[in-house]
Amino acid sequence: MSYTQAEKLQIMLLCDIHRALGIEDSYDPDVIEEAITTDNNWAIGWKYQNLNDGSKTPPHVTFFVDTVDMYKILQYTYQHFSSDDRVEVESKLTNFHGEKSLVFPGFDGNNETDYLSVGYMLEKLGRFEGTDITKNSHMPCVDTYRRMLDVFLPARSKDWNHNKGISKESFIAVFQAKIHPSLR
């Protein structure tokens, strides 16, 4: 769903009125205003199911959520590895630095602003608490994440174990995909 400039102005004015009246047991005007002004209209349906218009989640939002989920599952998996597994993983992966390599790096603030906007919106919705999802990576990351997700998503659906995460082999394969093919 998209809104005209006039509709956006009306919604923003209604949000101002809502705040001025001090209404607290209804819709959150800050969430609605942020969604409207940043063209993250999908967020309204995520926050309020009764306002979900049935539109499909935009692909860049799904990509963002899958990417953050991937990093959270990689962290979870690594935490459940034995000491021997960790040694093996580190020996097979160049430029892998344990827990530091498992922190979500973010998206580029200059070239991937649509993704950063999604991060700010998800943060306002209270999603992915405990993870900084609004980080500026200061370098383009979409292509890297896409390569990693191409390996991770099938592993998550085939090999996910709630008590351990994904398999060690899949974990290694995801991090190997992080390296550009021309540098392997």
Predicted local confidence at residue 88, as pLDDT: 95
pLDDT score at 83? 95
66 and 93 together in one domain:
yes
What's residue 18's pLDDT?
A: 96
Give the pair of three-digit tokens for residue 51.
Answer: 């306002």
- Give the side-chain half-sphere CA count within 13 A for 127: 18
What's the pLDDT score for residue 176? Answer: 95
Q: Are residues 114 and 132 in the same domain?
A: yes
Q: Are 83 and 38 found together in one domain? A: no
Are residues 20 and 44 both part of a single domain? yes
pTM of the complete model: 0.92
Residue stretches of the chain with pLDDT short of 70? none
Which domain covers residue 104, as residue numbers?
A: 59-183
Q: Is the dihedral of CA 72, 110, 141, 81 positive or negative?
A: negative
Cα–Cα distance measured from residue 134 to residue 115, given in angstroms and rounded to the nearest whole number: 9
Residue with tokens 């047991």: 25
CA separation for the pair 166, 158 (Å, rounded): 9
CA gap 117, 129 in Å, rounded: 16
Whether residue 162 sits in one domain with residue 98? yes
Looking at residue 94, its pLDDT comes to: 86
Interval 144-172: pLDDT, tens: 999 999 999 999 999 999 999 999 999 99
Determine the pLDDT at residue 4.
Answer: 92
> Same domain for 124 and 82?
yes
Four-residue CA torsion sign, 163, 166, 168, 174: negative
Same-domain status, 46 and 126: no
Residues 70 and 123 in one domain: yes
pLDDT at 31: 96
Quote the pLDDT of residue 181.
Answer: 87
